[in-house]
A and B are shown apart, each in its own frame.
Chain A
Amino acid sequence: MAQNPFDRRRINGPEESFLPVFEPGQERPTTWNARCGRQSTDIRQIFLQPGLISQANGSAYIETEKTKLACAVYGPRQSKSTTYSEKGKLNIEVKFAPFSCTRRRYPLHDAEDRSLAVAIHQSIASSVRLELFPKSTIDVFITIIENDGIEGCVASGAIAASTALADAGIEMFGLVTSCSAAVRGDDIRLDPTEEETNTSDGVVVVACMPALSSITNVWQSGRITAEVTLRCMEMCQDRCIDIHSVIAHSLSSMNKAP
């Protein structure tokens, strides 16, 4: 990436642009009480499309209502560092688009990028068979186009990254799916919106491989008892099985197309 002709200090926007199309009406509730059109165990609908970025070895675009992100996978390619490494390196970079949040994000370095990248790395690293790629690097680039809560970004990012890795034909033990939950009192809500996370006591993000029924990442913060946390984890794991079929379906329908 170092030799590309772009000036990284500028914002390289697209060449043409279109007016955004707004959803008609439907102001979202800002409190915990109301949840329009969804049960507390329901997750938002997922649109997942592999292979949208043509120059990448593998890619995926995911959209769950107001969380939208694109993921591109390059590699496995030769590591730049000269030191020998027996295992491949999985390198994940997350970038927020400056317009992705309600407040404009400063376009260059941002501290939150790294915390997200670390969380997503933890989610998918154990699924990739890195021992097959000595001396090489797999680069995963995630661009967050619209952000609706950090937890949703971590979960969707892990799903997109896993799908993109599968699209790139990189060997994995299983597909990784991920789901988040917000807790307030005894009330558990899966796949919370940003408003719900902000008014909650705490959040849990779980990533797992449903095919192997193993858990790759748990990320909990906030004031929750251990029992409720475990219940959240079970509920998320159940929901991950559904998400797994979404990924499988999108990958197989993509391969069927001529």
Chain B
Amino acid sequence: MTSLSKAEKSYIQSSLLSDPPLRLDGRSLEDYRPIALETGVVPLANGSAKVCIGRPGRGGYVQEAGGVGGGTEVVAGVKLEVAGVGDGEGGGKVACTVSCSPAAYPSLSSNALDDLQSDLTILLESVLSHPSLRPNNLVIVPGKKAWAVKLDAVVFADGGNVVDCLMLACRAALWDTKVPLTKWVEYRAPRRHAAQGDVGMDVDVDEEAGGGFETKGESRATDFELTDYWDEGEVLSGRESWPVCVTLNVLSNIHFLDAKLQEEASVPLRMYVMYAFPRGKPILQTFRLIGPEVSTIDQLRGLIKRAESYARNTWTGLEAKLKDEEARRGVKAREKFYGRLG
């Protein structure tokens, strides 16, 4: 994204390749910048998260030009919308959109910004909307209505490694998402009334959607109603299988993690490796090769293995943090509730 002169590029490359390797901010090759995460930041969304990698820059971009500070900042929000289900579809789609704030990319023209947005959107969509990850508790009325998951991520600042940051934010937002509980509503003309000559239709509330699958009158359910307030509900099923991303920046025979913008601009090859660990078992969910360099199968084999251990670290850290956040927000909500009472 940033344009670097040849001299700057070779300076960064030669210091990365020196022994011991040196990075702009003194990190080792496998270190991440500090990551800050908070869930529930958007009150109007069903699930949301904000992730910062690196120190949020004080007056960011002026410093960024000098190569000092400025982290990456992404907010992701999930909105659930009721959508009709077409013929032969399972229902419950996940749709992703990434928008990049022009403030994060002051040097890009609006066309280039559009291209970047669509590239990131396509990448995210191909990962998170894959049928193998579709949650199965999104159906409201079988065959008729389902929740459509709209995941929107906004990049507010880009200090490098935006894909990892996006995936962390999206994963946290999806983890945080609560699906409102619904009940089916069924219309039928009660026999008793009909005998009395009453032609009016009566509304009858059926069983809850979860328990309703075994009832034979599936097709009779026509509409639904919410049984709870929006902030209560159940979490998305299979939420532990959303993947995390590790971007490997490859420069000849070394690789490093969490590149800053200048480092990103000076490596010829990048790999997006996305792993999920449902029940501890590593699954490679997405792999992409980016950049004008070539690789070999032996190099890829080694790097995919290494990426697994990096991804597992990120995964455990994120999982612990998300559980913390859940507990913290539970306590906060309770205190607020009691505080109002008292």
Residues of A within 8 A of B (CB): 111, 114-115, 118, 122, 125-126, 130, 201-202, 209, 212-226, 229-230, 233-234, 237
Bound complex: CA A47 to CA B294 (Å): 27
Min CB distance B241 to A, Å, is 8
Min CB distance B185 to A, Å, is 33
A118, A213, A221, A230: the one contacting B300 at CB < 8 Å is A230
Is A111's CB under 8 angstroms from B118's CB? yes
Is B285's CB under 8 angstroms from A221's CB? yes
**Count of inter-chain pairs, beta carbons less than 8 A:** 86
Chain B residues within an 8 Å CB radius of A217 = 289
Chain B residues within an 8 Å CB radius of A237 = 297
Is A126's CB under 8 angstroms from B130's CB? no
Interface residues of B in 257-298 (CB under 8 A from A): 276, 281-297
Is A114's CB under 8 angstroms from B284's CB? no
Interface CB pairs A-B, < 8 A, 15:
A111-B118, A118-B119, A122-B289, A201-B132, A214-B295, A215-B295, A215-B297, A216-B295, A220-B286, A221-B130, A226-B282, A226-B304, A229-B284, A229-B304, A233-B300
The chain A residue sitting closest to B276, CB to CB, is A223
Count contacts on B: residues with CB < 8 A to the other chain.
32
Known: A111-B122, A213-B296, A226-B284. 4 other contacts (CB 8 A): A130-B292, A214-B295, A215-B296, A216-B294
Is B300's CB under 8 angstroms from A223's CB? no
Min CB distance A117 to B, Å, is 10
Bound complex: CA A213 to CA B276 (Å): 30
User: Given that A126-B294, A214-B296, A226-B308 are known contacts, is A115 also in contact with B287, CB under 8 Å in the complex?
Assistant: no
Is A115's CB under 8 angstroms from B284's CB? no
Chain A residues within an 8 Å CB radius of B276 = 223
Min CB distance B78 to A, Å, is 21
Bound complex: CA A229 to CA B305 (Å): 12
Chain A residues within an 8 Å CB radius of B308 = 226
Is B132's CB under 8 angstroms from A122's CB? no
Bound complex: CA A234 to CA B296 (Å): 11
Is A218's CB under 8 angstroms from B282's CB? no
Bound complex: CA A152 to CA B154 (Å): 32
Min CB distance A129 to B, Å, is 11
Whether B313 sits at the interface, judged by CB under 8 Å, is no
Chain A residues within an 8 Å CB radius of B51 = none
Bound complex: CA A222 to CA B305 (Å): 18
Is B285's CB under 8 angstroms from A223's CB? yes
Bound complex: CA A120 to CA B274 (Å): 21
Whether B14 sits at the interface, judged by CB under 8 Å, is no
Bound complex: CA A222 to CA B287 (Å): 9
Min CB distance B284 to A, Å, is 5
Is B305's CB under 8 angstroms from A226's CB? yes
Is B287's CB under 8 angstroms from A209's CB? no
Q: Determine which residue in A118, A126, A221, A225 has the highest number of CB atoms from chain B within 10 A of its CB, and name it.
A: A221
Bound complex: CA A38 to CA B281 (Å): 33
Whether B340 sits at the interface, judged by CB under 8 Å, is no
Is B115's CB under 8 angstroms from A218's CB? no
Chain B residues within an 8 Å CB radius of A202 = 130, 132
Is A221's CB under 8 angstroms from B118's CB? no
Whether B45 sits at the interface, judged by CB under 8 Å, is no
Is A222's CB under 8 angstroms from B285's CB? yes
